[in-house]
Amino acid sequence: MDVKERTQRALAPDLARGLMLALIALANSAVYLTGRPYGVRQHIVEHGLVDRVVSVLTVTLVDARAYPMFAALFAYGIVQLLQRDGKQVVRRRSLWLVVFGFVHALLLFPGDILGLYGLVGLVLVGFSRVSDRRLLIGAGLWLVVVAAVQGAAYAMPSTGERTFFWSFEMTDPLQAMMWRPVEWVMTPFGVIGVGSAVLVGTWAGRRAILANPKAHRKLLSRTAWAGLSIAVAGGLPSGLAVGHFWEPGSLWGISALHAVTGIGGGLGYAALIGLLAAGMQHREGRITTAPAAGMQHRNGRVTTAPAAGMQHREGRVTTALAACGRRSLSCYLFQSVVFVVLLMPYGLGLGGKLGTGAVALVALGTWGVSVLLADRLGRAGLRGPAEVVLRNLTYKTGKMAV
């Protein structure tokens, strides 16, 4: 049977997810660079000025900043799903996300985040009665854990050898596959900062801040300005160290600072995109309507109807980015497929030849292609393939259990 959509989609969360995937692509692509000595934060040691400058920019603006943004948006979406479909649906969806994450890690990318977010979804079901005050206090206290763990993780001077994600150096795909589950289990320690972002995202979801960004413009402006300023100030020391423009006396201190301020950066990016969405709703462009309550989806095809009071104007670029955000799971997995084919030693092996600047272009190009593909699916009224599978498993298995 068809599952009915009961709520209207706001532009800001989808736009944020679409743009977020560009940062995720940049963050993940650097891990595929192999065959050279590794330096600070396990980035390859670059000698060309352009590659060194790109390293500074990506570490300062993306590294440990993209995944907190991803986490905050994920938690925001979980709150909306809980309010719409209830705890049982969220539990089933979260369990299937863990399965998706394991398969993704086994076959493609051991740095997978889906499995961790599946566990986060299960935890958030239990947090539904936790007060807003305790959520924010918990987010603040968790920063102490983030500083301690991340500071220690990157405190040791580099020996030139790879210290995690060893499968990326392996030329035998079967050997690499055997290692990936081990690496996948270790991944949460590298993104431990998402815990604070999840709690803040839950708080924001309860207030539906991104659903009506115009009404929360002051909060979003302050969050964007403060969060991004903190992220740049806290990330620049690590960025300069990775780019070999500065030799720090203590890696523990700058690593802890980098991780903690990255959470502010992730929240700042989400707030900034919320502000952009608020401005875009009244610009000249193509008029679109949010899906009406009760809209039906048949075989992944979306049938829309005008929703009262929810019309807004979107340009072609905005529409494409939002389409990518609505299909973020498919686009995220698409990135991994492309990176394995192009960059892994048993693919085309470009990860052992390209520098930081070139692989950043590959990442942005891959993201751009995913935006175009998502836009085509959106214009055809189709969901992303991964979204269709996850939705069918979530709802159909629930009906079978009943």
Q: How confident is the model at residue 282 (pLDDT cuts 50, 70, 90)?
A: low
Q: What is the mean pLDDT of residues 163-180?
A: 93
Domain that holds residue 359: 4-401
Pairing of strands 295-298, 301-302: antiparallel
Q: Which 3 state secondary structure label does DSSP give 278?
A: helix
Greater confidence (233 vs 13) lies with: 233
Greater confidence (160 vs 72) lies with: 72
CA–CA gap between residue 376 and residue 382 (Å, rounded): 9
Give Cα separations from 149 to 120, 143, 193, 199, 337 (angstroms).
19, 10, 10, 19, 31
What is the average pLDDT value for the chain, to the nearest integer? 87
Q: Is 107 left (phi over 0), alpha (psi -120 to 50) or beta?
A: alpha
Q: In this predicted model, what pLDDT tens digit does every residue of 40-53 receive, in sequence order?
A: 888 999 999 999 99
Q: How many domains does the chain have?
A: 1
Q: How confident is the model at residue 340 (pLDDT cuts 50, 70, 90)?
A: very high
**Tally of CB atoms within 10 A around 246:** 15
Q: Which residues contact 254 (CB under 8 A, 6 or more apart)?
A: 237, 238, 241, 248
Helices 356-379 and 49-61, packing angle to 10 deg: 50
Q: Are 219 and 273 in contact (CB under 8 A)?
A: no
Q: Are 60 and 238 in contact (CB under 8 A)?
A: yes
Q: What is the mean pLDDT of residues 121-138?
A: 92
